[in-house]
Amino acid sequence: MNAYRARPTGVPGYRLIQWIGASGSAAVYAATELSSGRVAAVKIFHRVDLDVLARLERLLQASARIPHPNIVGIRAIGHTADGHLFHSMPLLFGFERTRRDVFGNPRRTAMLVRDLLDGLDHAHRHGMLHGGIKPSNILFDKQGHAHLADFGIARCMCEAGLPRTGATRYLSPEQVHGDPPGPRSDLYSVGMLACELLAGRLPLHGRNSIAPATVDAGQSVPRLPPRACAWQAWLDRAMAEPPERRFHGAREMAVALGAVLARPGYTPRTAGGAQRQRASQWAWPAAILASLIAALAGWAPWSQQPAPATLAARSAAAATTAGNPASTTTAAQSPVSAPPAVAGTASPLAERVQGLVATADTLRASGHLFSPPFHNAASHYLAALAFDPGNRAAMAGIDAILATLRDRLDNTWNAPHGATGIVDMVKLGDELAEHTDPRARREWRRYHNRLARRVGDAVVQAARAHDSPKVAALEPLAKALPAKFPAGSDLAGAQRLASARPAGEDMRDPGGPRLVYVPASGNAPAFAIARVEVTRADYAVFAHATHRPASRCRVAHNPFSRLRHLSWQAPGFAQGDDHPVVCVSWDDAAAYVAWLSKTTSETYRLPSSQQWLRAAQGEPKGNPCKLGNVDDASRRDRLDVDRLPCNDGAAQTAPVGRYAASGVGAYDMYGNVREWLAGGSPGSRLFRGLSWRDGSRQTPLGREGTADSDVGYTNVGFRVVRVLPTQDALLSTAMH
């Protein structure tokens, strides 16, 4: 099963409509509430231990008790049929729907920040901390009002030993250092978000440990561009490293923001004006909100970023841990030591950049490319570029990291099970490449494309080998690159092919015969056919259980044989229990499959002519006496003019499974006995194939005949077909 897009069942009170997205802690679905028909979002947490489950449930209940216009409301809390915790909430728009409109716009940033602070003030006064504010848990209604979601969830999952989901660059310094968050930690996160928006640059995507290294206390907060310079003092206090230097609470922070907006150059915000501005700048038509497609589009950017495990856990070669991706304007939260400033005429800023590059070079030489968090070569090079965009030394250092990363990717790919460690390394390379010169960027992109083709080829090769685990292991990488597949192939098709049963796979129902799987062909569905014909021992069990009398039996083309009283127990020649049963009529064969179906509680039938031919395909070529039991020199009948000149070792029937098998692994499709087929009428029942009586003039697959349904023959037996569910995937639960 594909867990990434698996659809759970048994969500009380809701009907799931469509998968929206997944993170490291939960999956989200669009749903309708059965009682009211309202559209909702249902968040289903991944399985965790009972203690964590209980704590998550308490957090949700506490959040539900503090309703506020800027806090995502919780409508219901419960458990799915398989024990997963879930809660429902309004279906709102994701942060990505508004991000680009807000970037670099101080007025819109102020609206967003005020909403967040109003919600935080209410939550803090009721004893609730968030502890993990980031864009993915900021949602918007159709008027553009911001709503905070997931109070305490990120911290709870982190303390349970699970990796943090989403970007950790918004964490306060005390959280980065492992201390518990307080109300001012949430205020720091809001300040970090405001800083990012005011700078007007997109951050690095993903989450890793290559956030630009922090600078010393006097320079820890980036300088804002001129259009937002009025915010600088407010931001310096919001993002102060010591918590005691920050605002005392969300209300004070909001009041200070009002003072910023009241400065010259800002138009005072009135209630009516604010509402009109929101309506013109944020609102979408009501029809869009009513449209599920539009709602899903609002969530889509988050859904495409399922949080992977940290690179440290996935690849020892990369040796990375979860950390902070950041833009060139984002400060990190951990001070680093830089070499002393070089005496001379260089400015303090130039000396600082030189120090960062020198530290980065040292860390790179010692192998600390991406770890430890915030004190590694990548983070220091990015910090240097934050102060001095285009710095050649910093870009040269990133080029060297990319070269090392390519070597590591090649080595990891060639290692057993190496694909599991590649996803995060590729993301790191993509992010770093955006901060280097065009030549190095093109070189990385060419490598990225080569890797994408390599992954596409590997997925297709694994699918053709029906190696589902390998396809599943490659899936995250194929999506992240994305992979480039050979013409006519894609990931979905490869997944279907890999999960399909390979032709000839051995199958068996409890109490049933051994079967081989015959895949679907065109519009013809898959089925399973018995490996061998029904033996005398098999038929004896049926005859004893049902008290079925023996049918009349004849020798083909011999009218005098009716005088001999032949039967399946005495066909006129010696047979062992492992020989195919003969002298059974079509009616006997039909009764046998009905009894077998009842015995196994599964559906068995006689094969159709088309099924028989599909199972017989792929017979090997060569000496006919090695391929099957046919009419040959072993019969020693002077009147037989059609004998083959070879000797197969059996004058009449032979034990089943002795000769060559067909392409799917069905034995005795060539020789031994002819076999009854489904269909026909009582006076004209079909049989097909060659028998021990058929010689050089008969074709193996084209040979077909008819007979009455109540008469058996010494050279006709039968085999059974197992009817399969429509979807081959369902077969695994029914077969052993």
Q: Are residues 279 and 353 in the same domain?
A: no
Read off the CATH number of the domain in which 63 is found.
Answer: 3.30.200.20
Read off the CATH number of the domain in which 172 is found.
Answer: 1.10.510.10
pLDDT, averaged per 10 consecutive residues of the chain (736 residues), comes to 43 81 76 84 81 85 90 90 88 74 80 93 91 87 86 72 57 83 92 85 41 43 81 90 92 89 53 37 29 29 30 29 30 32 54 86 88 75 80 91 90 69 81 87 91 90 80 84 88 77 78 90 87 96 96 90 92 96 97 95 94 89 87 74 83 93 91 94 93 80 86 96 63 32
Which of 246, 276, 303 is the C-terminal boundary of a domain? 303
> What CA–CA distance (Å, rounded) separates 488 from 490?
7
Within a domain: residue 100? Answer: yes
pTM of the model: 0.41
Within a domain: residue 736? Answer: no
Within a domain: residue 735? Answer: no
Q: Are residues 556 and 648 in the same domain?
A: yes
Q: What are phi and psi of 403, to 5 degrees?
A: -65, -45
Which of 453, 484, 499 is the C-terminal boundary of a domain? 499
Within a domain: residue 362? Answer: yes
Beta-sheet pairing, 552-554 with 711-713? parallel
Instruction: Quickly count: other Cβ atoms within 10 Å of residue 286's Cβ.
Output: 9
Q: Are residues 600 and 650 in the same domain?
A: yes
Q: Are residues 347 and 274 in the same domain?
A: no
Q: Omega of the bond prior to 69 within 30 degrees of 0, cis?
A: no
Q: Are residues 199 and 51 in the same domain?
A: no
Cα 79–85–90 angle (5° rounding)?
95
Q: Checking phi first, is residue 339 left (phi over 0); if not, alpha (psi -120 to 50) or beta?
A: beta
Cα 258–263–269 angle (5° rounding)?
50
Read off the CATH number of the domain in which 671 is found.
Answer: 3.90.1580.10
The pLDDT of residue 291 is 30
Cα 628–634–638 angle (5° rounding)?
125
Which distant-in-sequence residues (6+ apart) come within 8 Å of 436 by Cβ?
Answer: 395, 398, 399, 402, 444
Q: Are residues 293 and 236 in the same domain?
A: yes
Within a domain: residue 275? Answer: yes
> What CA–CA distance (Å, rounded) separates 356 from 545?
87
718, two tokens: 């039968």
Q: Are residues 120 and 134 in the same domain?
A: yes
Q: Are residues 46 and 124 in the same domain?
A: no
Within a domain: residue 665? Answer: yes
Q: Which of 333, 331, 379 is nearest to 357 (CA)?
A: 379
The pLDDT of residue 249 is 93
| Domains held by the chain: number | 4
Q: Are residues 117 and 49 in the same domain?
A: no
> What CA–CA distance (Å, rounded) separates 257 from 231?
8
Q: Are residues 417 and 530 in the same domain?
A: no
Which of 303, 321, 356 is the C-terminal boundary of a domain? 303
Task: Provide the mean pLDDT of the chain.
Answer: 77
Which tens digit of pLDDT belongs to each residue from 155-212? 776 665 544 544 567 888 888 787 888 999 999 999 999 988 887 654 433 334 445 4
Which tens digit of pLDDT belongs to each residue from 40-53? 889 988 766 777 88
Q: Is the dihedral of CA 457, 461, 462, 466 positive or negative?
A: positive
Within a domain: residue 544? Answer: yes
The pLDDT of residue 36 is 83
Q: How far is CA 168 from the centre of its chain?
A: 24
Q: Are residues 368 and 462 in the same domain?
A: yes
Cα 626–628–633 angle (5° rounding)?
75
Which distant-in-sequence residues (6+ apart) come within 8 Å of 252 by Cβ?
Answer: none
Q: Which of 257, 283, 269, 292 is nearest to 98 (CA)?
A: 283
Q: Are residues 228 and 127 in the same domain?
A: yes
Q: Which domain holds residue 517?
A: 506-730
Within a domain: residue 237? Answer: yes
Cα 369–370–372 angle (5° rounding)?
110
The pLDDT of residue 545 is 95
